[in-house]
Structures are given as C-alpha cells and as structure tokens.
Chains A and B, each alone.
Chain A
Amino acid sequence: MSTPARLRAGTSAHVRAFVRRPLHVLFLVVLPPVVIEVYGMAMATFPELPFLSAPPATMGRINGAVFAAAFLAGLIGLFQVRSAAQADERLRLSGFRRAELFCSRLAVIVAVSLLATLASFAVLAQSTTVTAPLVAIGSLLLGSLLYGLIGILVGAVAPGELEGSLVLVFLADFDDFLSSGLVEIDSPVVNYTPLHYPHTLFTDAVQSGTVAAGDVGGGLAYLAVLAALSLAVYVWTTGTGGVLS
C-alpha cells in the first residue's frame, strides 16, 4: 500500500469523523458571526483614538474576524489530534507512518481553515467594506492555518481536550490582543506573535488594499517553521509516551 493510498484512506476517514461531530459543524456556523459582532459591539463604545486606523467598531470586527478564523482552526486542530490519539497509535502500529497520520490530520485542518476563513470573511463583509477581498481571504487563511498547526502542537502535548482548550483560549486571546493594534505597544515582542502578520496583512487588505511583501514573507516563514515544529512534536509524541501527564 502506497503513501498516497494511505493518505487518501486516512483523510477520508478523518473527514467523515469530523462531519459526524455536530459540535464542530456548529462551531463553524455560530462562532464567526457571534465573535465578529460581539467584538464590533464591544469596541463601538471606545473613543476614537489617534493610533487607530479605523473607527473602533470596525477595528473590533476586523479583530473578531481574525480571531474567529484562527481560533476555530486551532480548536479543530487540537480536537483532531487529542481525541483520537490512541486510535491513531493503533493505526500507526498497523502500518501508517507517523508523517502520514500527521498529513491526513493536516488535510482536515486545512479544509476546516478554509471554511472558517470563508465564514469569517462572509460575516465581516456584511458590515464592512473590504478593499482587497482576495488578499483579505488569504490573510485570514494564513492566520487560520497558523492556529491549526498550533492546535496540533497543543494537542500533541496536552494531557486532555480540556487542558488543551484552556491553553488555546488564553494563547489566542493574548495573541489577538497584542497583535491587533488596538493598543499601542512599544515592544518588538508583538512582532513575533503568531497573529502579527495575519493581522497586519488583513487590516491593510480591508482598509487600503495594500500588500507589504515583507509581511507576506514573514507570515509564510512563520507558517513553514510552525509546520516543521508541529510535525516534529507530533512524531515525537505519537506512541512513545511523550504526553505530559
């Protein structure tokens, strides 16, 4: 049995398992509109500040879109890896390579990231004019993929879904807050948070339609490093008692 055949079989099984978990589908439908509108409403009460590049309510919705797409993918990435870890181990012993298991999980996460991106973009576009829609979608997808990989990372080392979810919630919240531009932070640290490049790219795409090559390169480099890291951690922890418990 070849690697492509195993990948097809694994991905097909994982997609079926995903759509048969109603909570996941509900997240995709409910989370983007709720998060984007709540962020917009919350920020509407803020005063117009000189360093904000748009009215507070718009900034809130832009933030909400990035957070919703990223957090959704992160959550699914975590559940994909954590909830089926033992069955994955049996499948590995039965003939799947660890990298094949990782890739079949990743394929589902990429598909979910795309759906989360489109859902978040569609909700935002109802209330906010997007100057460069394709760039905006690409930026959201970048943030979503980054957090999908973070979800795999957290899922590979967390002892359970609850602990992993808490880590992911705090991480995504802090990341979104620090990289959003809603507060003026004079520290280079914010340039290294996972959502820094997606936020910058997305905000520019929505407001001005410009794309900075450095931000695109930085975002893709971040993605490549995170992909390699999550693969390495996943392979390390699969089946060798590497889970911290």
Chain B
Amino acid sequence: MPNIENNTEPDDSISNARLAPDGGDATLPGDTVLRAANVAKTYDSPLPFSRSVEVLAGADVELQAGEIVGIVGENGSGKSTLMQILVGALDADGGTVDRAGAVGWCPQEPLLYDRLTVAETFDLFGRAYGMNADEIADARSRLADRLDFQRFLDYRIDHLSGGNRQKVNLGVALLHDPDVLLLDEPYTGFDWETYLAFWELTEELTERGTAIAIISHFVSERERFDRIYELRDGALHEQDAVVPETPADAGVSGGTPSTNGRERSDEEVPVE
C-alpha cells in the first residue's frame, strides 16, 4: 500500500535535489539512473472549506541508462506533479526518489527570466550547472544550431514566440549534458522541422547512454519509446508494446508539431 499517511512532512530523500552534476549521488544498481518508489502526493490547503486532492498514490518508475520512457495520462492525472517530484522541484508526501548523475529538466511552462536574452539565460543557467564560459559557449552554440535558434540569441525571452521559447526551455535542460533528461511536454509549439530535430537529438543522446522520460497527453509514435506508462488513479501502469500499424501514426500532441504551419491534430492518438 502506498504511504499517504504523512502528507505534511516531506521525505528527506526527495528534498533539496539538484540538477547540477553533483546533485544525483545515489548508488543505484546496474544501469539504473533514476528510481522512484511508492511516491505519494496529496494537495492540501490550510484554508477551511477546501478539500484535499490525492494526486499520486504509490507511483513507481525506473529509468535505465540509454532508454526513453513515455509517461501519459489524462489532464489532471498528476503527470506534471510526478515530474516535479522526480526532478526535486516539489516535495512528495511519501516514497523515495533516487537519482544517479546530473538531471536535465524541461518543465511544461518555460521557467525562465523574461527580461534576459537567450544568450544571458544560457550563461546564467550554465554558471548554475557549474560550467565555465567556454563550456557554456560551446554547448549553447551546439544547441542553438541543432534546435535552430542561433539568430535569436540576442532576443529577450519575452520577445520570443512560444515555439522559440520552448526551444530555449529545452536547450537549458540539455545545456550541461545530463545523464537523465526529464521532459514535460517538450515539443509544445515546435514546427515540424524542429520536432524531427528533437527526435534525432534524443536518439543520439540515448545512444550515448542518456536516459530520457517524456511526459505528454498523448503518444502516437510508440516505436520511439522503450516503454510507455500511463498515470492513472495515482499510479503508473506500463502499457503493452504496440507496433505501429500505419506510417500515419507519426505525430505527437500537446501543442502539436506542425507541417508548414498546420497543426497535425488529425494524427494525434490517445494511448487508451
């Protein structure tokens, strides 16, 4: 049974997490780079006449080096809450999360400083990750080229379109070449070219041993994932592997990539 009794005192093993290289120092067996066990979370309010909402009730997930895992679920099922707990942005009420190595986090909403330029943003977060100026410049240049935002480096974040802001959001998560990548709706607003570039990049990363977890409302390109979990009733349920039936299965939702500016909503397929 999940431990949801203690929903006020956060579990020490989850608190004070860091994305930086020295942050994940847990010793995990084999190729496991992230392991969450029995994670529970209930949103309580100190105000009277407000009800508690149990979001997670014993969620378990494990990530191996070099694999890519999808986590899907309905709106409000707790996907983003789970992601925030995995990354350490939110304390769980119960359960444990162990990480080995550096973690990269791409939140659903770009949590960036609106009035800094893209270049300044990379510099600030690079310093936070412990990188020096040359390392930051190299990584920034590589990511800007790969995700096609080189020409926006001197633009302020609040002057970018939603799609370009999302590219920067993803770029910040990738800046320090993390061992584990936790991506919450990472391709929201991407155009089709960037969407394809994103998947090329993830394939390269997994070949180099990076473990990736992607949260989305829907996943239709199932062949890209090693495993897919559905978050339902506060717990993760592994989906059976499905071989795509037609090539038209390409396309993923949540601010769907577009071809020539058109949304690809006709190809979105919910997991269930």
Contact = CB atoms under 8 A, between A and B. Distances in A.
Interface in A211-245: 239-241, 244
Contacts of A96: 128
Q: Is the interface of B mostly helix, strand, loop or mixed?
A: loop
A94 B136 CA distance: 14
A136 B15 CA distance: 46
B19 A94 contact: yes
A25 interface: no
A155 interface: no
Interface string B119-160: 010011101111100000000000000000000000010000
A5 B132 CA distance: 10
Contacts of A94: 18-20, 125, 128-129
Contacts of A95: 18-20, 23, 127-130
A90 B87 CA distance: 10
Nearest to B43: A241
A10 B17 CA distance: 20
Nearest to B157: A87
Given A17-B115, A86-B111, A87-B113, A1 B130 contact: yes
Interface string A1-25: 1000110011001001100110000
A6 B126 CA distance: 10
Nearest to B123: A9
A91 B19 CA distance: 9
Nearest to B90: A241
Interface residues of A, number: 24
Nearest to A91: B128
B187 interface: no
A1 B129 CA distance: 8
A93 B116 contact: no
B10 interface: yes
Q: Which of B15, B113, B156 has the most CB of A within 10 A?
A: B113
Nearest to B21: A95
A114 B89 CA distance: 35
B260 to A, nearest CB: 33
Interface in A19-47: 20-21
Contacts of B125: 90-91, 94
Contacts of A241: 90-91
A13 B19 contact: no
A89 interface: yes
A93 B113 contact: no
B107 A90 contact: yes
B128 A20 contact: no
Contact of B18 (A17, A20, A21, A93): A93
A16 B129 contact: no
A84 interface: yes
Given A17-B115, A20-B156, A240-B10, A93 B105 contact: yes
A1 B22 CA distance: 11
Interface string A78-93: 0000001011011101
B88 interface: yes
Contact of B111 (A6, A16, A21, A90): A90
Given A13-B120, A91-B124, 10 more contacts: A1-B129, A6-B128, A16-B116, A17-B115, A84-B113, A91-B125, A91-B128, A93-B17, A93-B19, A239-B89
Interface of B: 10, 15, 17-20, 23, 46, 87-91, 105, 107, 109, 111-116, 120, 123-125, 127-131, 156, 172
11 contacts: A5-B127, A10-B124, A17-B115, A20-B115, A21-B115, A90-B89, A91-B125, A91-B128, A93-B17, A93-B19, A244-B46
